[in-house]
Structure 1
Amino acid sequence: MTRRIGFTGDVMLGRLVDDRQRERSVDAVWGTVLERLRGLDALVINLECVLSTRGREWRRTHRPFHFRADPDWAIPALERAGVDVCALANNHVLDYEAVALRDTLEGLDEAGIARTGAGETIDESLEPAVVTVDGGARGGTGDELELAVVAFTDNTPEYAADEESPGTAWIDIDTDDAEAKRRVREALSRARESDPDLLVASLHWGPNMVTEPPESFREFGRWLIEDGVDVVHGHSAHVFQGIEVHDGRPIMYDTGDFVDDYAVDDELRNDRGFLFELDVTADGVPTELRLRPTEIDGCAVHEAGPAAAEWARDRMRELSAPLGTEFERDGEALVLSLES
């Protein structure tokens, strides 16, 4: 039985999103995509905020933006969408200092939502998120699939965890950096202890509003696949980037933004993106990646309208062609076959 695993870019539930959610239903943030999210067999997101009402804004270094959401609505909203894994290796998990990060970790743990990429120490940050995926869209009776996710970031080194301090699993994205490769391999080794059928590396890498990955990221993504990773789940740029297939495995260099309150660039259209749906066989072989166009409006995510969907499809084709990737069209979605 095939499993369908969903991936999103940044999910930022703070600021205006948080304000709006205090006046509307818990699941309103998911707009018109809620049922599609709930129909997935598993869902992996990058959580781009802390879930807490405590703490003070980070002031030890200059940080222009600070993101947090009230866990009283945010955690139920994640549950309603069926989020299984939150990648936390990003540049906002210490926006309200360690107390808010601890609230986030504890809240996700209490809700049974797996998390990876940040923790009380670097040792905890390197621990994988491991979940068992049942077939049949969450209520199925098919064979189970073990999913393991590790997460890293090259953003905001001052948020890096160490042996005694909380923070992120920070690395320098460079295949020539022996320490970065050692740290990644340590996390992958821990993930393999669960004997996963599908191994995902979730990377919050690179600067904002950049439409193409640098060659160093391409080298790093291919190295991850060659080292046994099945899916590279990139994010950070706030705009989606092209997709490359290496040894039959997808490298999503940047999955863009899924929901937030950000100002919209009229040219780069950071309000437009995709829900990325990966079909995987029962023994963990990716067979197809389906891209469903989305757009952000009113601090919520929606299925994209015809014009926005066409723009996103054309843009993804344009960005992916230099990476050797071509898509088929199925309704509003783009489809990438991963079978040779």
Structure 2
Amino acid sequence: MERLPTATLALLLCLDLGAQALPEPQIPSPRAIHTKDTVTLAIIGDVMMHSRQLEYDCREFLSGISGLLKEADFAIANAEFSLGGRPYSGYPAFSAPDSYAEYLRDGCGIDVFLTANNHILDRGRKGLERTLHVYDSLGVPYCGSSPGDGTYYRHNPLMLFKDGIRIALLNFTYGTNIPAPASAGPLVGMLDKDEVSECIRRARIQGADFIIALPHWGREYSLTHDDSQRDWAEWLAAQGVDAIVGSHPHVVQDSCHIGGVPVIYSTGNAVSNMSARNTRLGLAVTLTLVVDRASGDKACTPRLHFTWCTLPGMLGHGYRTIYVREWVGRRGDWLTPSDYDNMLETLERVCTATSIANPLSDTSSD
């Protein structure tokens, strides 16, 4: 079935391939208003809700970076939790309050939740179905998971429409911590080449100008990609995707271009209670997508913005994620100035390990 939560946004979720043949979707007529059409995406990493976070007002969590998210045409977050209902819990089986999703929508401007991750089944099938029901009730599209057996959703990407540009989002995970019951059918999109290639094929059928792959992959806490990530990135680039932005390792990983396709292997954490080495530095990625209708040329330009998740008592009372660049030189504003030093030391360490330009010495990133 097709769901249209807004006048300019159409939701088509993709999951596992099924044996049942489905009719090809109809391609809507393009709305090319200008010779050059431009759309911006803002993508943040792992949005988590650990047990200690439940004790604090979530409205502060991402307030320090919400401006960029609201300015983008579409803001996308990896929702690494379930909304499985009470009792609320953190790691290892996440179940956040429904108000968390509402805050992310209204307070931060999140337009799309990515749900293909290893924690989406932390409360089982019922928890997943309840999570997606809450997103439906809030009118927020999601990508990567499906209610029921996903007969239709698993064949299709999430399609976004704006100013004549069609964007297809593909979201898949290496696996889930809680396996889906065999009788439940395909609930979560898995990194399977047959499955992903079918989604890419149907994205093209639906006239996608851009195909953005959002895989949940890699080794946790590693600052560099592994062989599996590289193999997948090369394969995705060969299939014609326009950008690859990954999640899961909980730290920022290296970035590169493969065949002209930008690859950001991991955005790290957006907000969490994690304090292990390098886990509080993250990336907000903006993708500027341009289509020249006269020439047929298109461009996808990434920009990286480093973020830092401050824990309670360090910058304020609770959790607050900030842009590193905006706080450089403001050590005196910290309640715990040593955390300012930690931020800069972590930035230098991660930039050295990943070869991403340090924004304090290069204006190509923020």
TM-score by length of 2: 0.73
1:51 aligns to 2:83 (yes or no): yes
Deviations 1:293-320 (A, max 9, x none): 2111233322223256654654454344
5+ residue gaps in structure 2? 1-36, 311-317, 329-340
* Partners of 1:293 and 1:312 within 8 A in 2: no
In structure 2, how many angstroms separate the alpha carbons of the residues matched to 1:34 and 1:241? 23
Find the counterpart in structure 2 of residue 225 from structure 1. Answer: 237
1:290 aligns to 2:316 (yes or no): no
Alignment of 1:326-337 (within 5 A): 327=357, 329=359, 334-335=364-365
Deviations 1:147-198 (A, max 9, x none): 2111111133753576733632123xxxxxxxx2111111222333321222
In structure 1, how many angstroms separate the alpha carbons of the residues matched to 2:354 and 2:60? 32
Q: How many equivalent residue pairs?
A: 303
* Partners of 2:281 and 2:347 within 8 A in 1: no
5+ residue gaps in structure 1? 58-62, 134-142, 172-179
The worse-fitting range, judged by mean Cα deviation, of 188-197 and 98-107 is 188-197
Structure 1 segments, 4+ long, off by >6 Å, are none
Find the counterpart in structure 2 of residue 145 from structure 1. Answer: 165
Shift of the 16–158 alpha-carbon distance from structure 1 to 2, 3 Å rule, reads closer
Shift of the 34–332 alpha-carbon distance from structure 1 to 2, 3 Å rule, reads farther
Find the counterpart in structure 2 of residue 9 from structure 1. Answer: 45
SS in 2 for 1:203: strand
SS in 2 for 1:30: coil
1:258 aligns to 2:270 (yes or no): yes
Q: Which has the greater radius of gyration?
A: 2
1:121 aligns to 2:149 (yes or no): yes
Alignment of 1:117-266 (within 5 A): 117-119=144-146, 120-121=148-149, 123=151, 124-125=153-154, 127-133=156-162, 143-156=163-176, 158-160=178-180, 164-165=184-185, 167-171=187-191, 180-262=192-274, 264-265=275-276
In structure 2, how many angstroms separate the alpha carbons of the residues matched to 1:186 and 1:163? 23
In structure 1, how many angstroms separate the alpha carbons of the residues matched to 2:361 and 2:63? 20
Amino acid across the alignment from 1:151 = N
In structure 1, how many angstroms separate the alpha carbons of the residues matched to 2:226 and 2:66? 34
SS in 1 for 2:45: strand
SS in 2 for 1:241: coil
In structure 2, how many angstroms separate the alpha carbons of the residues matched to 1:314 and 1:199? 32
* Partners of 2:211 and 2:242 within 8 A in 1: yes
- Percent identity of the aligned residues? 24
* Partners of 2:51 and 2:91 within 8 A in 1: no
The worse-fitting range, judged by mean Cα deviation, of 278-287 and 214-223 is 278-287
